[in-house]
Amino acid sequence: MGKGEFELIGWIKEQFEVPEGILGIGDDCAVMPQRDGLETLVTTDMLVDGIHFLMEDIDPYSLGWKSAAVNLSDIAGMGGKLVGTFLSIALPKNIHDGFTEEFIRGYKDISDRFNCPLLGGDTTAAKDRLCINVTVLGSCGAGQSLKRSGARPGDLVCVTGTLGDSAAGLKLVLERQSDGCGSPEAPDTERILVDRHYRPMPRIAEGLRLAATTGVNACMDISDGIGSDLRHILEASGVTARVDVRSLPLSAELRDLCARRGWDPAELALSGGEDYELLFTCRPGTPVSIPHTVIGEILAAPEGSETAGPVIIWEGTDKDFTGFRHF
């Protein structure tokens, strides 16, 4: 294929012309204005066995939960309200009895929690591996959605929740898979981290609050780790940033595990991904009413730097960080 993931998406984007007023490829959701002063948000993401999850490890309930969660999270990233979802599944012939029922139970539990009904989809057989695609519709007031392109020099860089828990959970799952040790005996710390990986919680209410707060300029959900995701905000906004790695919000469970294993928590927090927290920028002094941590500041891009891509200044570390990339 020859192209990286983001280069390929950029090339696909160039092949199509999008009508004035519609925001197409490049943000967490497409945004389409409606006549009644509202905007419709649409997002879609695919989960493939062996790439996004390991069929032999994840239980079907968690897979159903996670398939919905990672998609709902893109509506949170725009500060939107949820309207409904569409679910398409390609089921391999050897799928075990009861799989689909448990999968739908997990999908329904998170959908009910956010009052977001399933409205349609498609079901087909697959030759080899399970493949799941979810599309979510959302809405927001005209001009209210939070884009990646709004960051301005002087903005604070902020995140909700804690970072790196999901990546640590995945590391534990992979480790157990290689040494054949099952998870039921895992200590509480490890169970919490594995849970953060399997059952992420989209920050829908937080996104809505941010969209209603004047001074919040840019936002996205964190799916690949901020080492990669912050670059999307910087590129879309034509700015750069400094981030103090010492100020990253880390859970007690992550600190504890990393101390015991000799893992670098900053690396998991910045490059691991799948946190599904919100990354946003706001003017200093903005009355942000949701729990969050300030991790850095937006800076003006140096003259003539547009083609090289943003160089983030990582303070408190001698490493450079990028996020997860599919290829």
User: Could you list the residues that contact ligand ADP (CB under 6 A)?
Assistant: 9, 12, 25-28, 45, 74, 223
Three-class SS of residue 270?
A: helix
The two three-digit tokens of residue 60, written as one number:
């079907």
C-beta closer to Mg ion: residue 28 or 275: 28
Among 27, 39, 49, 74, binds Mg ion (CB under 5 A): 74
**Contact partner at residue 212 from Mg ion, ligand ADP, none, CB < 5 to 8 Å by partner kind:** none
**Contact partner at residue 9 from ligand ADP, Mg ion, none, CB < 5 to 8 Å by partner kind:** ligand ADP
Distances (CA, A) of 292 to 81, 157, 204, 223, 226: 20, 10, 14, 17, 15
**Contact partner at residue 12 from Mg ion, ligand ADP, none, CB < 5 to 8 Å by partner kind:** ligand ADP
C-beta closer to ligand ADP: residue 9 or 181: 9
Expressed in percent and rounded to 5, the helix, strand and coil fractions of the chain are 35, 25, 40
**Contact partner at residue 229 from ligand ADP, Mg ion, none, CB < 5 to 8 Å by partner kind:** none
Closest distance of CB 223 from Mg ion, Å: 5
Q: Residues 276, 263: contact at Cβ < 8 Å? A: no
Strand-pair partners of 125:
91
**Contact partner at residue 64 from ligand ADP, Mg ion, none, CB < 5 to 8 Å by partner kind:** none
**27 DSSP assignment:** B
Nearest partner of 226 among 173, 178, 263, 281, judged by Cα = 281
Measure the CA–CA gap between 98 and 291, rounded to whole angstroms.
39
Closest distance of CB 147 from Mg ion, Å: 12
The two three-digit tokens of residue 322, written as one number:
């990028």
By CB under 5 A, residue 274 contacts Mg ion: no
Measure the CA–CA gap between 168 and 53, rounded to whole angstroms.
15
**268 DSSP assignment:** I
By CB under 5 A, residue 277 contacts Mg ion: no
**Contact partner at residue 256 from ligand ADP, Mg ion, none, CB < 5 to 8 Å by partner kind:** none
**Contact partner at residue 275 from ligand ADP, Mg ion, none, CB < 5 to 8 Å by partner kind:** none
Q: Residues 39, 140: contact at Cβ < 8 Å? A: yes
Helix and strand element counts for the chain (H, E): 9, 11
Segment 220 to 239, residues that bind Mg ion, using CB under 5 A: 221, 223
C-beta closer to Mg ion: residue 48 or 104: 48
C-beta closer to Mg ion: residue 221 or 274: 221
Residue number, nearest CB to Mg ion: 28
Among 23, 27, 28, 265, binds Mg ion (CB under 5 A): 28
Residue 139: phi, psi to the nearest 5? -150, 160
Q: Write out the residues near Mg ion by the rule CB under 5 A.
A: 28, 74, 77, 221, 223
